[in-house]
Amino acid sequence: MGEDKGICRGLCKDHKVRKPRDGTSRYVSGQVRCQICGVFIAREACHDKEDRPARDETVDLYCNCCNCMVRSRPRNKPGTKHSKKSQQEEYNELRKKY
Ligand SMILES: [Zn+2]
Ligand SMILES: [Zn+2]
């Protein structure tokens, strides 16, 4: 276990990515979310369980910055109908973000 686990060391900002312009999902575009660092980063900024660079088929990704596991898939499958938020709430959230 590394000493730096769970701490953002600021390395992620070099790999921070923007939302794809064409509207495709970040996850589809190979971007992952690091909850510790609070940013979306490219897969290239991650490593796998064995500390090797992440590849396309790598499922378990760890942030190079904080060494924590990052999410490479959306939590909900696309098309899930059980949304806790109303459309109005989602609309409001979108407005806050952009
Ligand atoms: Zn970080
Ligand atoms: Zn991180």
pLDDT of residue 9: 94
* Cβ atoms 55, 46 nearer than 8 A: no
- 4-8, 9-13, 72-76 — which is least confidently predicted? 72-76
Q: So where are the chain's domains? A: 1-76
CA of residue 72 to ligand 2 center, whole Å: 13
Round the average pLDDT of the chain to a whole number and report it. 80
Nearest to 67, CA basis, from 41, 96, 47, 40: 47
The H-or-E segment that residue 96 falls in is: helix 87-97
Q: What is the mean pLDDT of residues 71-86?
A: 60
Look at residue 73 and tell me whether its pLDDT is greater than 70: no
Q: For residue 13, how far is its CA from the centre of ligand 1 (angstroms)?
A: 7
CA of 92 to the centre of ligand 1 (A): 28
Q: 80: CA distance to ligand 1 center in Å? A: 31
User: How far away, in angstroms, is 87 Cα from ligand 1 center?
Assistant: 32
